[in-house]
Amino acid sequence: MALALEGIRVIDLTQYQQGPIATQMLADMGAEVIKVEPRGTGDPGRQLGSYYFQANDRNKKSITVDTRTEKGKEIVYRLVKNADIFAQNFRPGVADRLGFGYEALNRINPRIIYLTGSAFGLKGPMGTKPGYDGVGQAMSGILSTIWQPEGIPPTNLGCSISDQTGGYLLAFGAIVALFHRERTGEGQQVDSSLLGSTMNLIGWTFQRNLTHAHLGASMLVPRARVAPFSKEVSIISSHVARDGKPILLLLMRRPMQIATFKALGLEHFIDDPRRESKEHVKEYINDVLSSMDERIRTQDRDEWLRLIEEAGGIAAPVHSLEEAAAHPQVLANEYIAEVDHPKEGRIRVLGLPVKLHKTPGRLGIAPELGTDTEEVLSRVAGYKAEEIEQMKREEII
């Protein structure tokens, strides 16, 4: 079956996660992604474990080049001549110093679409500063939406949410730029940042505070978020059941609250006058949370999920990563899949998050370091066999 991006070639100088995720998404949909890695060491993301590299670099080809040398730079330039997309996520300014800035590559190939992943965006006082996923999470405001004891926010959300989101949006930008080029013949630069991507991930929560600044932050209490969806109190809380498994309860609107209180046997909270009193609403919320804690501890999680669903309320299991991977809904949609790895055997991997029903994409594995160097230099860059052998002797590739 044909893949949507067959015939699209990407020259990939990205590293770690933000950039590699973007180019992997293009590879998944059929693009030929040639990952240019430093000779001898490769993408530093390889040093973080095979699971890390597999998650960010499947379906790519790997070549190794010493891009600090003139011959190494020439290899990249020759690859760019025959490419559609070039991608890098160095600290702003580094690619220019290496000779791989947008203006330099645009002179070689005016149709090139040039992807830049950065920490903070290319403009402003922090435009040239380096950054990491944790910085994106902290500066975006997303950590402030999570409550911990003494009001101290968590150090991160337990995963690289800024890197991942930044990569997704960079890939989206690449597709839009390709569409524009099909209409006009023009290439262009596309950039996304950890900061901007994570702020957009927050979505309506961020917009609510922009539009209704007088509301301030949500009123936060232990294990719960109380948000002003309307004039009534809305509670999202987590609790631990008798079997030690956590459960999330959503009492966001009046009908949901009534249904959940009935399922828990806490009907006396339904018409409690404190819920409409500014002076006593926090006392009411604390009593609700304490009572729900006690009730949830009396039965196992699956039983509460059944009872709350039957009553018309909304509850969800707070899954561990292992539980999420094994869930029937996840398996049915192939969000987790299996592939054969030449060294590790049959392994489970993340499936494709986007489903194209006519051109569905592909699963694959990340390449061994430099395994495609000779094939790519010969077929794509046009080097002769003797030239390739000479560059190997000179330790350029």
254-277, pLDDT tens digit by residue?
899 999 999 999 999 999 998 888
Q: Are residues 340 and 263 in the same domain?
A: no
Which of the four pLDDT bands, split at 50, 70 and 90, describes residue 150? low
Domain end (from 288, 317, 346): 317
Render 178-191 in DSSP notation, one character per residue: HHHHHHH---EEEE
Q: What is the dihedral of CA 67, 72, 76, 82, to 10 degrees?
A: -170
Measured distance CA(215)–CA(219) in Å, rounded = 9
Residues 6+ apart with CB under 8 A from 367: 35, 57, 60, 61, 62
Which of the four pLDDT bands, split at 50, 70 and 90, describes residue 329? confident
Domain end (from 260, 282, 317): 317
**Is the residue at 110 inside a domain?**
yes
pLDDT score for 356: 65
Tokens (6 digits) for 229: 């969806």
Sequence-ordered alpha helix ranges (H) in the chain: 18-28, 50-57, 70-81, 94-98, 102-108, 133-140, 161-184, 194-202, 204-211, 254-264, 281-296, 301-311, 321-326, 328-332, 373-379, 385-393
pLDDT score for 211: 61
> Residues 61, 35: contact at Cβ < 8 Å?
yes
Q: What is the mean pLDDT of residues 285-312?
A: 94
Cα-only R_g, the chain: 26
364-397, pLDDT tens digit by residue?
999 999 999 999 999 999 999 999 999 999 999 9
**Is the residue at 357 inside a domain?**
yes
Whether pLDDT at 354 is above 80: no
**Partners of 220 in the β-ladder:** 225
Question: 239: alpha, beta or left, given left = phi > 0 and alpha = psi -120 to 50?
Answer: beta
Q: Are residues 231 and 292 in the same domain?
A: yes
170-218, pLDDT tens digit by residue?
999 999 999 999 999 999 999 999 999 998 898 887 777 766 654 444 4
81-115, pLDDT tens digit by residue?
999 999 999 999 999 999 999 999 999 999 999 99
Which of the four pLDDT bands, split at 50, 70 and 90, describes residue 346? very high
> Residues 239, 229: contact at Cβ < 8 Å?
no
What number of residues does the chain have?
Answer: 397
**Partners of 192 in the β-ladder:** 117
- CATH number for the domain including 196? 3.40.50.10540
pLDDT score for 229: 42
Look at the chain and report how many structural domains it folds into.
2
Which residue range(s) make up the domain with 48? 9-201+328-393
Measured distance CA(87)–CA(25) in Å, rounded = 13
126-136, pLDDT tens digit by residue?
888 888 898 89
Which of the four pLDDT bands, split at 50, 70 and 90, describes residue 360? confident
